[in-house]
Chains A and B, each alone.
Chain A
Amino acid sequence: MRNNLASAMFAVSMWQRIGAVLAVAWLAASPAWGAAPGAPAPPFALADDAGTTVSLAALRGRVVYVDFWASWCTPCRLSFPWMGEMQRKYGAQGFTVVAVNVDKRKEDAARFLALTPGAFTIVYDPSGAVPAAYDVKGMPTSYLVDRRGTIVSVDTGFRDDAKAGLEARIRAVVEAR
């Protein structure tokens, strides 16, 4: 038990470290204006609940919706069901939602997920290195990344009245060849 816990903690901190290294590397190589539309999406490799590493590089060729969220973010409660719906609708066409949790403590995220389950990929970055690399401006912030790994659009905040526009953009990117 104790060993499992220790190795789990090691795994997290290892991924934190990898994330941080990748982020720093990207920051050094990227222009000052950060993750804006037209720029390459900063790479990341983060662990999900099962301990499996999810990396952006491995998703190359798919359209990826990178969403930064936190347990304490109230608009995130609105975005979760919607992201699940998008995953269900467009997954078969090569669309993947990756929700990056930024909580310091994983228990807080677990409590949120118990009430608001997410039917898509969820990874954890308690170090904050990846949101820093993406220059996240608020919670939630989402980045729509095309099949070549380029950021198409950035959206900060989530409101019900913005859903239709977001979905139209996703559809356009998914259908673009």
Chain B
Amino acid sequence: MRSVFFHTVFLIYSTYALSIEHDFKETFQDYTQEDLHVVEKQIQNLLPRLKRTVVSIETLDGAGSGVIVTKDGLVISAAHVIEQRGKKMTVILSDGRKIHAVSKGGSQLSDAGMLKLNDDGPFEFATMAKSGSSKVHQWCFALGHPNGYNKDRGIVLRAGKILAKKDETIQTNCRLLGGDSGGALFNLQGEVIGIHSRISNKPEENFHTSIESFLSNWDYFLSEELLTLENLKAGGFLGVSCEQSNNGLLILKVVPGSAAEKLGLFANDELLCLDGIPLDTREKLTILVSKKSPGEVITLDFLRKGREISIQVALGTRQ
């Protein structure tokens, strides 16, 4: 009887690394001892492997963190850690090994950044979660190097729940500190769901760039300059503020005098595609529009009262 019991336990735990056979309640404070036990076991199982994917990044006068997401050493981090494309940086792996790296692109809008290690590995890497898979009230945990790399201490773990998720930002109660920037937020499957970005002075105000920002703009981040708030001004301007919706982007407000208003776009219209490219994040729309020059014509597909409409519009200038 006893051996059967142990055998079962072993089987359950051995499959944990991929999926969890446990139903968690979808509220914040409602968790059982059993829930806590499952979360703890899952984190402890994943920790040794995931720690090897989280790195410390040395900049000239400070430190951030990052997480390796490909076998050949691509690291995702925060835009304010890499600061610009083509910067030489030093990355410290969890075992203390130092490797040089060069920054790629990213976006200051969502605070996403990338860098590539000057060594093709193979490296252990973390898997990125599928777009839209992280939900409010889910358990999560954060790894990073608060106050920079510390050999005696090691990587620091924080565990908590997702408190809010909106557009490119996830808020959790996993407390962060300077040096954590660019470190990874994981779900209980051990997939990256966010990158540490910013905090306030309140313990529950910890903000992470959601992985969706990277997934949606992967090629752009990899190949183009870092999108800064400054170089947005030079590009085209549509003039809508929107939020993510089921089909695309729901327009909340149209800027008076903008190209969008002239065209007759209204609040509650739902943007679907720009030049045939599906709009899954606000940032994607901003990036696509800013890549165009003022006056350039784009094709916009949108949904109004259940009817799909396709129009062409000349972009304006950002005021």
A and B from one assembly?
no
| Residues of B that sit less than 8 Å from A by CB | none
| Residues of A that sit less than 8 Å from B by CB | none
